[in-house]
């Protein structure tokens, strides 16, 4: 399988973190390529930022969909996902939808811990669109910008672990999603600190791309 992962933002650090997550998952003969869309958006912090990346994401989908076997859009707002599926001749996955799909197959109820207060409503709307709103107990948005956390992930890992444990204790959930391509790696780093699975959206999307049966309703 040839897998194309589109990072809607232009952050080189985000691409590196995505590659670090994907590398152990994609073994020969599978191939993976991580590319940034030419969006001129460093990090998606708002609904407007997300919308601004869509033309560049769709341009990449249009240019590359015949050359690959699956495409992943690696931003938690899933920018351009619906339109990309209309364009592409191959399957297209969004990391938010993929994470919710895996979370719903892992536990009866799940929560999301992420960044970007301005994106909370959009994520909630996506959960409704994807059919998971009744399984999502809440969206916990931590008080930093994506840029701040991306600049020093290790310094913020403890806060993410504490937030995840708090929603587990308060909501009695069975899984937590860490939302966001730039946050790739945090889920793995804090997994041992949680009593429930903590899911990374990029990892979930790759798993679904490699194992399409996982995404089908039970």
Q: Which residues pair with 22 in a beta bridge?
A: none
Indicate whether 194 and 184 sit together in one domain: yes
* Pick from 215, 17, 4: nearest CA to 97: 215
Residue 203: predicted pLDDT = 94
Indicate whether 101 and 177 sit together in one domain: yes
* Pick from 20, 29, 23, 181: nearest CA to 116: 181
Tell me the CATH number at 18: 3.40.50.12500
Q: Which residues pair with 138 in a beta bridge?
A: 111
Indicate whether 107 and 118 sit together in one domain: yes
Q: Model's pTM, two decimal places?
A: 0.93
Structure-block tokens of residue 78: 């899933």
Indicate whether 101 and 153 sit together in one domain: yes
How many other C-beta atoms are found inside a 10 Å radius of the C-beta of residue 190? 22
φ, ψ at 112 (rounded to 5°): -120, 135
How many domains does the chain fold into?
2
Indicate whether 15 and 111 sit together in one domain: no
Indicate whether 47 and 121 sit together in one domain: no
- pLDDT one-digit tens code per residue, 29-85: 788 999 999 999 999 999 999 999 999 999 999 999 999 999 999 999 999 999 999
User: Who has greater pLDDT, 19 or 213?
Assistant: 19
Indicate whether 150 and 53 sit together in one domain: no
- pLDDT one-digit tens code per residue, 170-205: 888 999 999 888 899 899 999 999 999 999 999 999
Residues 184, 146 contacting (CB under 8 angstroms): no
Burial class (CB in 10 A: 0-12, 13-18, 19+), 157: middle
Q: Residue 144 belongs to what domain range?
A: 96-201
């Amino acid at each position: 399988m040839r897998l194309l992962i589109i990072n809607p933002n232009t952050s080189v650090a985000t691409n590196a973190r995505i590659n670090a997550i994907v590398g152990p998952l994609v073994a020969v003969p599978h191939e993976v390529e991580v590319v940034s869309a030419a969006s001129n958006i460093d990090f998606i912090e708002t609904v407007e930022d997300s919308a601004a990346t869509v033309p560049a994401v769709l341009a990449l989908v249009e240019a590359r969909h015949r050359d690959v076997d699956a495409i992943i859009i690696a931003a938690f707002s899933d920018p351009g996902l619906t339109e990309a599926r209309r364009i592409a001749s191959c399957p297209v996955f969004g990391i938010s939808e993929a994470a919710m799909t895996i979370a719903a197959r892992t536990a009866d109820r799940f929560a999301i811990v992420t960044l970007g207060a301005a994106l909370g409503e959009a994520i909630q709307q996506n959960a409704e669109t994807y059919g998971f709103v009744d399984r999502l107990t809440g969206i916990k948005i931590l008080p930093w910008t994506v840029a701040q956390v991306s600049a020093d992930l290790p310094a913020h890992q403890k806060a993410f672990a504490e937030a995840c444990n708090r929603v587990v204790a308060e909501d009695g959930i069975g899984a937590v999603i860490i939302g966001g391509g730039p946050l790739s790696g945090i889920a793995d780093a804090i997994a041992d600190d949680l009593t429930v699975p903590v899911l990374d959206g990029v990892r979930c999307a790759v798993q679904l791309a490699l194992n399409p049966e996982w995404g089908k309703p039970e």
